[in-house]
Structure 1
């Protein structure tokens, strides 16, 4: 389908959305007129009220048709003077594809590349173009793979995809926003009705009368009905427009393979899901490590650390590249399955361009370190940029874990506080275990229905993992509070907790891994016959209790 026909289809679909509310209002008005002509006045008056209730959400929906202006995602805009090599590469690829180069390049902190165009007259006239390029892609792709990604995005320009997006994206946003409005109003109506009925029941209960069941099925009924109508149209709209979007992705892949090479395009498609998973792992385990303690790594390392992770875990990531995501095909996916895209590209004739652009894509930047530091200023919130900078990642890990352990509040802490009516501490817990009350305490933990109904050994098996995890963390907090805990930072294996020797004990430069010390001691403390002596012997400033008893308090 050519650009003109796609534009006409997008325009008709958008107009259909606007007309939907008008036609429904016209249908209600016609029905009211027929009632006026033929129905008895008493019946007509009641039906007029129903008609008004139906018309209110429709009128509200018509006022929801104006879409708020989209805000540009945070990023670092770079000029040709800032990054001449990157701009030169983008211009060269645009010339080879036969399209205008973007007027603005914005570096982002996402594993993604995208192009936009501020087209005019609903996309019929071209406008300024922007290329959003994720720095994690530059860190993880080769230059040839990045050229393929850029050629793919520029291919959307050559097919007028970005101009038509002004129509299709606007329609999607308006439909979803309208449906959300109807559902929100229905939810508020149901909440008001629930509150009214609960208040009525409370008054009845205070007078000793029977209370009724709260029923909100009819609250917000008209809004839910309108949401269903617009949802049905949304399914049609999304199926039609997203099917076209998938065809555009195939065409852009073909353009990328033609310009940057078949092998570079196929390998880039394989690499991007790996980078996406790696960056999610980095964000969860490293990037947000200092959040609780308001700590940041040295300047430039917020995103520079991702490159270190990729280098340290090369072998682990290599295995992921052979496993293509096999996500289910949905009519509402905007992109085809990545496996299908890879197979289509790899089925193209060989072009013998495997030796091109083997260098890292990050080399296209004039000063990667400076750019990574500037990206932090562009994308981090103002309050986060005020956090204290550490000397390095090991210091960040130590500070973060110390803060987390100092504020430890596990389910076992909360259960112990309820059970003893006192401040929950590890010594208090060990004393309670010695008194044979561990399994009574365990009944205060959050339990599933199955666990709550279990008894004896079956109950102990249900709660033992949660008890062991919380007890292990409480022991870590005790070591940390006495400066006996040190954390070993590693890009390859993550953080390892080391217990330092007690003052006056045998010298040790590295300490002993917590798992080697605590695992058997914790297991003994939550065994069917709990024994606290092994754990007491490890804890700082806690002498072994020679009278420690072995107990079975499951009765």
Structure 2
């Protein structure tokens, strides 16, 4: 389907939404006319008020503005042509090869993604300002040939006029979803009002000594929900049509990328991006953001810069993931085809001219791209990574204290996390003794022979709660061991007797200070939780060597 037909269909779907609104309004008006003509006046007035309330979401949806504001775009750092000449040269060269106008602006983002938009007007008949959003994590994880394929793919959306229809399709989708949300919100409010009315009635009955009736909102809000279902049905029809087009556009853009940047580079990039996405999520959780709960961030420039360190250190661990393409469920409402299907289609293509041996260039380098890191396209990567933090992080995040280095970030965040520990064992101990849940209190409980009575206060499964004696002890012992170990570590951390070894390639390792190295925390905890509890190993472990 060509761009003109897609524009015509987008216009028809948008017009269909408004036509549906007019049909609903006409139906409500016709019902009001019939009521005033044949029904009692009091009933007609009441039901007309109801129809006017129903008409409000319809009218609001029909006149809802669908334009995209600055806040709707990903936040990022604009790449100035004078500051990043090599990146701009590459993008403009690719635009010329694709046969389309280059973007007017390039914005570097913190996402594992690339995207293009065009602020077209009049259903795409008039072109508009073009923006290319390029995720810095892609630059850190892809080589230059792979990045060229990603950019060529996005520019292919321009050449196929895919972005021209974006505003119209987005406006129709926003109007439909906004109308549905409005109906559902009004239905919820109507149901809540009915429930509150019945509860007030029960309060009055109770004040008179009469029994309360069951609170049941019943069909309150039914009409709103019925109209919401009507619009939902049309929205599904519209989304199926537009998203089916979107999937076809992805295939076409993939073909453009393979032609311009090479089949192998395009397939490799598609295999790499899901790996980068997974690794980036792990990096944020386990490294960059591990100190935010204690108000601490990595050194300046390292919030996003550390991702490259992790990729280098874990290259061998990530290698098998490139052969394990995501097993995605196909849905009519997916905007992108499954990655595995896209890779299969690309790998079935013949080699493009840039990969032909006759080109005499040794592969994709002949297309103007090399095997070097895509990050090298930036003039000053370290400067860009630092500036990206200022552009992307929230004001609260930028105000956080910066660690001197990664080991300090690990140590301080780990100590803070242990110091704030509030485990089920802490809560059970406080509930059982009425005292602050400290190690001293826990040791006293164990020495008094009350460990298993304390264990009954822990969250237990139905099976564990039903058994007694030795069976109960065996079932609850692992949870107790986890809780006691956490309390021991928190106690040692509070006394600065723990140290953490930072690593990009492995999980952080926690160690006892040298003066306590002869003690085995795991064995000490096991002894305290044995059938015949012995707390002496724990007491020796926790004894301050300075005393």
Q: 1:58 aligns with which of 55, 58, 79?
A: 55
CA contact (8 A) 2:435 2:441 kept: no
* Aligned counterpart in structure 2 of residue 532 of structure 1, from 530, 535, 538: 535
Residue pairs, 1:174-185, within 5 angstroms: 174-185=175-186
CA deviation map 1:271-327 (0-9, x unaligned): 000000000000111111110121121111111100000000001100100000011
Structure 2: state its 5+ residue gaps: 357-362
**Structure 1 residues 442 and 233, CA, compared in 2 at 3 Å: closer, same or farther?**
farther
| CA displacement 1:467-511 (0-9 Å, x = unmatched) | 322222111110011110111111111211111133xx7xxxxx6
Aligned residue for 1:108? 109
Q: Is structure 2 residue 263 aligned with structure 1 residue 267?
A: no
Residues 375-384 or 424-433, more deviating: 424-433
Maintained 8 Å contact 1:18/1:62: no
Deviation at 1:213?
A: 2.9
Aligned partners of 1:448, 1:47: CA distance in 2, in Å? Answer: 58
Residue 396 (structure 2) pairs with residue 383 (structure 1): yes
Q: Structure 1 pair 355/24, CA: closer, same or farther in 2 (3 Å)?
A: closer
Partner of 2:493: 480
2:66/2:170 contact within 8 Å kept: no
SS at match of 1:408: coil
One of 378, 401, 416 as aligned partner of 2:429: 416
The Cα offsets for residues 231-277 of structure 1, whole Å up to 9 and x where unpaired, read as: 11111111110000000000000000000000000000000000000
Aligned to 1:226: 227
Q: Residues 145 and 26 from structure 1, CA distance in 2 versus in 1: closer, same or farther, beyond 3 angstroms?
A: same
Give the alignment of 1:149-548 within 5 angstroms: 149-201=150-202, 209-351=210-352, 352=355, 354-356=363-365, 357-457=370-470, 459-460=472-473, 462-502=475-515, 517-527=520-530, 530-541=533-544
Q: CA deviation at 1:152?
A: 0.2
Residues 229, 299 of structure 1: alpha-carbon distance in 2 compared, 3 angstrom cutoff: same
Distance in 1, Cα, partners of 2:527 & 2:208: 55
> SS state of the match for residue 132, structure 1?
strand
CA–CA distance in structure 1, aligned partners of residues 247 and 488 of structure 2: 54
**How many angstroms apart in 2 are the aligned matches of 1:533 and 1:202?**
60
Partners of 2:299 and 2:405 within 8 A in 1 = yes
Distance 2:211 2:478 in 1: 44
Unaligned runs of at least 5 residues, structure 1: 506-510, 544-555
Distance 1:54 1:434, change over 3 A: farther
User: Would the aligned equivalents of 1:21 and 1:59 in 2 still touch at CA under 8 Å?
Assistant: no
Q: SS in structure 1 opposite 2:293?
A: coil
Q: Structure 1 residue 355: deviation in Å?
A: 5.0
Looking at structure 2, the residues matched to 4 and 90 of structure 1 have their Cα atoms a distance apart, in angstroms, of 27
Aligned length: 530
TM-score, normalisation: structure 2: 0.91
| Structure 2 counterpart SS, 1:321 | helix
Quick one: distance in 2 between partners of 1:48 and 1:450? Answer: 61
Scaled by the length of structure 1, the TM-score of the pair is 0.90
Q: How far does residue 462 in structure 1 lie from its aligned partner after superposition?
A: 4.9
Distance in 1 of aligned mates of 2:545 and 2:426: 19
CA distance in 1, matches of 2:222, 2:475: 44
C-alpha distance in 1, partners of 2:328/2:97?
Answer: 33
* SS of 1:213 mapped into structure 2: coil
User: For 1:120, what is the secondary structure of its paired residue?
Assistant: coil
Structure 2 CA distance for partners of 1:3 and 1:427, relative to 1, 3 Å: same
Please give the root-mean-square deviation of Cα atoms over the aligned residues, in Å. Answer: 2.4
